[in-house]
Amino acid sequence: MTTLDSRVPEGPLAEKWSKRLHDMKLVAPNNKRKQKVIVVGTGLAGASAAASLGELGYHVDAFCITDSPRRAHSIAAQGGINAAKNYPNDGDSVWRLFYDTIKGGDFRSREANVHRLAEVSTAIIDQAVAQGVPFARDYGGELANRSFGGAQVSRTFYARGQTGQQLLLGAYQALMRQVDNKTVTMYPRREMLDLVVVDGKARGIITRNLVTGELERHQADAVVLCTGGYGRVYFLSTNAFNSNGTAAWRCYKRGAHFANPCYVQIHPTCIPQSGDYQSKLTLMSESLRNDGRVWVPKDKADVKTPPSQIPDERRDYYLERKYPSFGNLVPRDVASRNAKYVCDEGRGVGATGRAVYLDFRDAIKNQGRDAIADKYGNLFHMYEKITGENPYEVPMRIYPAVHYTMGGLWVDYELMSTIPGLFVAGEANFSDHGANRLGASALMQGLADGYFVVPFSVGNYLAQNKVEAVSTDHADFKRTEDEVTAHLQKMLDVGAKGNRTVIEIYRDLGEIMYDQVGMSRTPEGLKEAITKIKKLQNDFWTDVKIPGSGDEFNKMLEVAGRLADFLELAELMARDALHRDESCGGHFREDHQTPEGEARRDDENFCYVAAWAFKEAGEPELIKEPLEFENVELSTRSYK
Amino acid sequence: MHDETMNVHLKVWRQAGPESEGRFESYSTEVNPHMSFLEMLDVVNEDLIKKGEMPIEFDNDCREGICGTCGCVVNGQAHGLERGTTVCQLHMRSFRDGETIVIEPWRAEAFPVIRDLVVDRGAFDRIIAAGGYVSVNTGPKPDANAVKIGKDLSDRAFDAAACIGCGACVAACPNASASLFTGAKVTQLALMPQGAPERGRRVRAMVDQMDAEGFGNCSNIGECEAACPKEISLDNIATMKREYLRAMFTDH
């Protein structure tokens, strides 16, 4: 039977990471120059990892699918980054950040990883400030903080509503500095289409040059995957158009286990969908819930009444009513689920009835329009651009949308996958957020992994694994490239004769996923989803229509390849959701809820990571990593 | 749920590759006024694909106006006529029923066309690589509050840092100058105390790289500011010029 070794160090929780750092083997400076590391993806995790590895002296080849590393989707993160600095003196500590994150994730993350995340969080802020990142400041010149869902302290650092942008630009600039130093070679407009495994170790990748269509072979001594999440399996999501799951999926098919694929975060504050031409959904930062109050009419009869004509006594501030301690700042899974409930009751507002109000009337009255504009101006501006409505005058309308995937490739404590030499950082791995991610934690994890974990763990691996040099002429490189070529050719052959466009099939997949593998799930729905997804896989491989050829710039061919992988990943997500016979975090099973409609966990039977291993023939094998909580007590999450 | 529709006629620049001849092609389409400009192009492309024709290639990614990937010239204006807006945030409600819309790629020698509306903006990365950073390695740093930075100063640095690197400033400038892009990064890092030690070296290297890439000089026309989706101020160019002069005289 296959087992998984998380390689978590022995000893007290707070000493595990420093102990591991002391025990790690080092690579001497003159040897670092001889070793090459591939970093795929240049968002927060990838850019920070590539820059830091380059600074150490390794030779790094960095790859991104966009035209510049500055465009990675991390740039769109709005609200902020958490760190246990306790600057506001409101009682924060490493322990409290650790505990909030564990609890927020509904006790389905690995204790030691989460503690390390909380520990290094403070260093991330110092690092970013040293890079010149212009965080928001108070008049005294100190850093400003605000609060995010799932926390009762103000530990979130921000740069207006563009925190991801500023942190990414900091990491990107550090990366470009290494490009100038020639320790990093940047390969933009490249898509990783496969992983090359030689003698059981990750030794390279096959990429497609998106401008010329050429396939390229790249070899290295280790590969770091930082390719983000797979939220676009739902077609409509807050993710950027090019975000995809292909690189991770190809690693899965080469032997890396895929963990907890069913854990998806549905973010409560997105601009609702308005038409069926829509290609993506836009998020409004959770920070808005610091001052915005969420409500719907008490009575169904009022849903079409303009909000200004609905007096307070006819409004239901349902989050404040149900969760008096956290109010509008309950975690995302709780806020999303409750928005769904009130809309299911017929009390949703807007043209589709699938929206709730996020109202700034009281905040503007109390603090003044200028104070609100100072905090959220660009978000209000963005909302007005998209909807044509002015949120200073009428409440915003919001609805949940797929945002972040907590599942990802399984990694051990040092972020290495089940393929030696393949490291996975940021959203692409599964480890830190459990079944739900708290706000302002994605930026924290991306940068923690990239700046402060991967550079050490890659070194530790290289110091202990003397790998023989391989040339890209090696048989495994050739075989892998041939397989990629055959896959592309098969797709183009079908695509030349098929009738259904890539986007049509993709929208169908999204609909199945939203309906049956979305905000709430039932065993019947999941079984039905698996059947429908299989049919859609068949439709794709017999009837998809793809324009153009493979040896040119061809966006639709790129999307087709990503869709082919999403069609397989979607099936695994549904399978994982079906097997996890409990509710936890973002995975809400209607057959496991309390009488109040809260998620009911089953720690007796499901306190483990579900890691799936690919099988060439037959169904994937489920391997469990038991989650051991030595320092926190598994309790029922309450935000009342 | 939205009943209203409108018709628009498009004249779109089609060019198969960097070396190919380009030409305008005409298309007509029925759209919903609530669509974004890129969603309109998606709809046109779906029709083209069904007809067996090649879709119009355009760069786009976040569709939230922050990644800076999208950008084309719409009716003669970079990102279209609406101020402070990327083309992905432009909505069809800003056009009239029956209007003809002309769509072209960024046109600048330093931004070669890759295909249709897609251009190569790698020159911007090379300008940043030349010096657009603070030289610090990853590792232990002073506490983030060790150096106080006034809110006004920090806000000004942020205003400059808000540049998304889309290239509209270059496309709008008759000289195809990259001064607004470069000036914004120079200004951000010159304002923050962390960037001070290499202030002079930075501006010299970035300006030299900008020239080497084939961008033109700034002649204070101001089209860049007008076209900038993030409304980055012309003041940044003045700051860059002042920083450059200062570096010449002070040698650091």
Strands (DSSP E) contained in A49-151 are 59-63, 81-82
The pLDDT value recorded for residue A425 is: 98
Give yes or no for a contact between A149 and A289, defined as CB atoms under 8 angstroms apart: yes
Six token digits for residue B34 = 């609530």
Q: Is B78 on the interface with A (CB under 8 A)?
A: no
Q: Give A136-177 pLDDT, tens digit per residue.
A: 999 999 999 998 888 899 999 999 889 999 999 999 999 999
Q: Kindly list the residues from chain A whose CB atom is less than 8 angstroms away from the CB atom of residue B48.
A: 547
Judged by a CB distance cut-off of 8 A, whether residue B19 touches chain A is no
Res A117: pLDDT: 98
Closest residue by Cα to residue B216 from B78, B79, B111: B111
> pLDDT of A19-78, one tens digit each?
999 999 999 999 999 999 999 999 999 999 999 999 999 999 999 999 999 999 999 998
Which of A53-57, A374-378, B161-165, B184-188 is least confident? A374-378
In the prediction, which pLDDT does A88 show?
96
Which of A54, A262, A85, A290 minimizes the C-alpha distance to A174?
A54
- Quote the percentage of chain A above a pLDDT of 70: 100
Between chains, do A132 and B195 touch, taking CB under 8 Å as contact? yes
Contact B150, A144 (CB under 8 A): no
Closest CA of chain A from B179, distance in Å: 18
CB A637 within 8 A of CB A596: no
**Two structure tokens written together for A274:** 């308005």
Distance (Å, whole) CA A252 – CA A105:
24
> In what side-by-side order are the strands of the sheet with A215-219?
A190-198, A201-209, A215-219
Round the average pLDDT of chain B to a whole number and report it: 96
Residue B16, amino acid: A
Does the pLDDT at position B23 exceed 80? yes
A356/A401 Cα distance (integer angstroms): 13
- The answer, for B51 touching chain A at a CB cutoff of 8 Å, is no
Lowest mean pLDDT among A2-6, A163-167, B199-203: A2-6
Q: Which residues contact B146 (CB under 8 A, 6 or more apart)?
A: none
Distance CA(B178)–CA(B181), nearest Å, equals 5
Of A604, A579, A599, nearest to A589 by C-alpha is A599
Q: Give all strands (DSSP E) within chain B, no chain letters.
A: 6-14, 23-31, 73-74, 77-78, 100-104, 113-115, 118-119
The two tokens of residue A43 are 């968002």
Contacts for B52-57: CB closer than 8 Å, 24+ residues apart: B52/A547, B53/A547, B54/A547, B54/A548, B55/A547, B55/A555, B55/A556, B56/B12, B56/B14, B56/B116, B56/B117, B57/A553, B57/A555, B57/B114, B57/B115, B57/B116, B57/B117, B57/B118
Confirm if A396 and A357 have CB atoms less than 8 A apart. Answer: yes
Burial of A314 (0-12, 13-18, 19+ CB in 10 A): middle
Angle CA(B209)–CA(B210)–CA(B212) in degrees, nearest 5? 60
pLDDT in tens, A77-128: 988 999 999 999 999 999 999 999 999 999 999 999 999 999 999 999 999 9
Residues of A in contact with B124 (CB under 8 A): 68
pLDDT for A344 equals: 92
Partner-chain residue, chosen from A55, A129, A501, that has the shortest CB–CB distance to B144 = A129
Write down the pLDDT at residue B1. 39
Residues A295/A318, Cβ–Cβ less than 8 Å: yes
Give the tokens for residue A335.
């806020």
Instruction: Kindly report the nearest CA distance between residue B220 and chain A, in angstroms.
Output: 27
Residue A520, min C-alpha distance to chain B (Å): 25
Mean pLDDT of B127-149: 98
Mark yes or no for CB contact B49/A556 under 8 Å: yes
Q: Which of B:192-231 have CB within 8 Å of A?
A: 192, 194-195
Among B99, B193, B143, B88, smallest CA distance to A280 is for B88
Q: Nearest CB to B138: which of A51, A275, A381?
A: A51
Helix or strand (DSSP H, E) at A320: helix A318-322
Specify the higher pLDDT residue, A112 or A374: A112
A180-207 per-residue burial string, b: 16 or more CB within 10 A, e: under 16? beebbbbbbbbbbbbbbbbeebbbbbbb
Sign of the C-alpha dihedral, residues B131, B137, B143, B146?
negative
> How high does pLDDT run on average in chain A?
96
Nearest CA in chain A to B93: A388
User: Quick one: pLDDT at residue A1?
Assistant: 55
A321 touches B at CB < 8 Å:
no
pLDDT tier for residue B2 given thresholds of 50, 70 and 90: very low
| A327-337 residue pLDDT tens | 999 999 999 99
Residue A581: strand, helix, or coil? coil
Phi–psi pair at A319, nearest 5 degrees: -70, -40
Paired tokens of A542: 């017999």
Contact by Cβ (8 Å): A312, B95: no
Query: Hey, are the CB atoms on A176 and B91 less than 8 Å from each other?
Result: no
Phi, psi of A436 (to 5 degrees): -160, 140
**Half-sphere exposure at residue A583, Cβ-oriented, CA atoms within 13 angstroms:** 21
* Interchain CB distance below 8 Å, B140 and A123: yes
List, for residues A595-629, the tens digit of each pLDDT value: 988 899 999 999 999 999 999 999 999 999 999 99
Assign residue A89 a region (left: φ > 0; alpha: ψ between -120 and 50; beta: otherwise).
left
Cβ contacts of B33 within 8 Å, gap of 6 or more: B2, B4, B5, B6, B91, B92, B93
User: For position B3, what pLDDT does the model report?
Assistant: 56
Q: Dihedral angle at the C-alpha atoms of A423, A206, A44, A105, nearest 10 degrees?
A: -50
DSSP A298: S
Query: Is B109 part of the contact surface with chain A (CB cutoff 8 Å)?
Result: no
Percent above pLDDT 70 for chain B? 98
> CA angle at residue A441 from A435 to A444, to 5 degrees?
135
pLDDT at position A246, please?
98
For the CA atoms of A128, A132, A138, A141, the dihedral, rounded to the nearest 10 degrees, stands at: 110
Tell me the average pLDDT across A334-347: 94
B133–A131: do the CB atoms touch at under 8 Å? yes
Number of C-alpha atoms within 13 angstroms, CB side, residue B5?
Answer: 9
Contacts of B197 (CB under 8 A, 6+ apart): none
Query: Is the CB of residue A149 less than 8 Å from the CB of residue A331?
Result: yes
Q: Do A282 and B52 touch (CB under 8 A)?
A: no
Could you say which of A75, A87, A352 has the minimum Cβ distance to residue B67?
A75
What is the per-residue DSSP string for A440-494? T-HHHHHHIIIIIIHHHHHHHHHHH--PPP--TTSHHHHHHHHHHHHHHHHHHHH
Number of other residues whose CB lies within 10 A of the CB of residue B79: 27
Do you know the residue count of chain A?
Answer: 640
Residues A334 and A323: their CA atoms lie apart, in Å, by 10
Identify the band that residue A639 occupies on the pLDDT scale cut at 50, 70 and 90: confident
Show the tokens assigned to A465.
Answer: 């694994």
Q: How far apart are CA B138 and CA A369, in angstroms?
A: 40
Which helix (H) or strand (E) segment is A382 a member of?
A: helix A369-387
Q: Scan for tokens 């990093």, then name that residue.
A: A184
pLDDT digits (tens, 9 = 90+) for A468-489: 889 999 999 999 999 999 999 9
- Distances B229 to A606, B76, B84, B95, B166 between C-alpha atoms, Å: 49, 15, 4, 18, 9
CB of A631 less than 8 A from some CB of B: no
Mark yes or no for CB contact B122/A501 under 8 Å: no
